[in-house]
């Protein structure tokens, strides 16, 4: 048994078909089938149930072995990365993620990393907190900035400074507004609210607070994409209530941010990373910035 056979087995378990696994591994089907048969013979167990549609379903023994095989493969990959990184230069790929509300905060750190280490490449995700946790645990990313803490035995969090939400307006829209505003005055503005597909976010907080104060907001658009929302705001389509960290640096000179009196909309972001595996140097440098 070797690492190669473990990779084959894990791929078959993921694809659930020999033909699909062989295609993903860029090899012919017969050699892959032989490798699986050799593995089962060596272990003395059947790892998959095969049905008439050639679907591969893990047996109980196969499911147990899959968990251990992934652990072994991850440890092996960590060892390779750690040894290769013994040289001083920080290179490779930085794989990180962020919720939509922390995107600008995350990109600010990524930009600093890029300036320090020009040979780095980047793999960046934007998603809901639960999905970011899955990406961390499946090792597709090494760190993430999130607004929701989700308990996990394999992930560690560091809470960051609180982030206030602000009313964001286009400088060219001509809305009469100073540097601060009361909640009671916000319904006079046409609002564009960011509504996440899953989970809770600023949208829920805003709507709950308006309801508590018996206020009726004038919502002209519910948007499900952060980039589109920011474009709509900057074009003067409407105003929005957003965490200040969500506004990209390059846009801050083109929009007007208004502080909300007795602000009920405060977010506490956190950076999270895996604790059960070796962190590549790019990820270590990213975390150091926080």
Q: Which long-range contacts (CB under 8 A, 24 or more apart) does 129-133 make?
A: 129/99, 129/199, 130/198, 130/199, 132/97, 132/98, 132/99, 132/272, 133/272
- Residue 170 — very low, low, confident or very high, per pLDDT cuts 50/70/90? confident
How far is CA 27 from each of CA 3, 24, 31, 55, 265, rounded to the nearest angstrom?
Answer: 16, 8, 8, 19, 54
Instruction: Let me know if the fold of 93-161+269-288 is the same as that of 163-267.
Output: yes
pLDDT tens sequence across 258-270: 999 999 888 888 9
pLDDT value of residue 85:
59
- Cβ atoms 126, 245 nearer than 8 A: no
Which residue did the predictor score with more confidence, 80 or 229? 229
Q: How confident is the model at residue 284 (pLDDT cuts 50, 70, 90)?
A: confident
Per-residue pLDDT at 163? 87
CB atoms within 10 A of CB 223: 20
What's the pLDDT tens digit per position in 74-93? 777 767 666 665 555 555 78
CATH number 1.10.10.10 given to 3-84: yes
> Which superfamily does CATH assign the domain made up of 163-267 to?
Periplasmic binding protein-like II (3.40.190.10)
* pLDDT tens track for 119-133: 888 999 988 888 899
Between helices 281-288 and 103-116, what is the axis angle to 10°? 120
Closest by CA to 107, choosing from 251, 245, 263, is 245
The predicted pLDDT at position 190 comes to: 92
pLDDT in the model for residue 166? 92
pLDDT tens per residue across span 11-42: 888 888 888 888 888 888 888 888 888 888 88
- The span from the CA of 89 to the CA of 96, in Å, is 20
Is the pLDDT at 97 greater than 90, yes or no?
Answer: yes
Res 149 pLDDT > 80: no
**pLDDT above 90 (res 191):** yes
* Angle at which helices 3-15 and 60-84 cross, to 10°: 130
93-161+269-288: CATH superfamily: Periplasmic binding protein-like II (3.40.190.10)
Give dist(CA 194, CA 224) in Å, integer.
6
Q: Where are the domains of the chain?
A: 3-84, 93-161+269-288, 163-267
d(CA 245, CA 247): 5
- 0.85 cut: is pTM over it? no
**59 three-class SS:** coil
CA distance linking residue 184 with residue 43, whole number of Å: 70
Helices (H), 100-240: 103-116, 129-137, 202-212, 226-234
> Is it the case that residue 205 has pLDDT exceeding 70?
yes
Question: Strand locations in 6-159, DSSP E?
Answer: 48-50, 56-58, 93-98, 121-126, 143-146, 155-159
Indicate the average pLDDT of the chain.
Answer: 84
pLDDT at 225: 82
């Amino acid at each position: 048994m070797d690492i190669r056979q473990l990779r084959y087995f894990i791929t078959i378990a993921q694809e659930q078909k020999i033909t699909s696994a062989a295609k993903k591994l860029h090899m012919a089907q017969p050699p892959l089938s032989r490798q699986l048969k050799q593995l089962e013979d060596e272990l003395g167990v059947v790892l998959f149930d095969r049905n008439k549609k050639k679907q591969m379903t893990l047996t109980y023994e196969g499911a147990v072995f899959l968990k251990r095989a992934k652990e072994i493969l991850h440890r092996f990959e960590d060892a390779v990365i750690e040894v290769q990184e013994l040289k001083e230069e920080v290179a490779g790929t930085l794989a990180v993620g962020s919720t939509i509300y922390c995107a600008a905060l995350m990109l600010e750190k990524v930009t600093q990393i890029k300036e320090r280490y020009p040979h780095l490449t980047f793999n960046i995700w934007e998603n809901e907190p639960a999905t970011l946790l899955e990406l961390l645990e499946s090792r597709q990313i090494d760190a993430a900035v999130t607004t929701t803490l989700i308990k996990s035995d394999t992930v560690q969090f560091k809470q960051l400074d609180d982030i206030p939400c602000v009313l964001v307006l286009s400088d060219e829209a001509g809305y009469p507004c100073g540097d601060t505003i009361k909640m009671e005055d916000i319904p006079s503005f046409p609002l564009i609210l960011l509504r996440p597909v899953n989970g809770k976010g600023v949208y829920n907080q805003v709507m709950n607070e308006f309801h508590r104060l018996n206020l009726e907001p004038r919502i002209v658009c519910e948007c499900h994409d952060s980039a589109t929302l920011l474009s709509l705001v900057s074009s003067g389509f409407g105003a929005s209530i957003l965490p200040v960290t969500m506004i990209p640096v390059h846009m801050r000179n083109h929009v007007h941010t208004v502080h909300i009196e007795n602000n009920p909309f405060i977010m506490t972001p956190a950076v999270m990373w895996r604790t059960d595996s070796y962190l590549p140097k790019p990820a270590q440098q990213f975390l150091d910035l926080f």
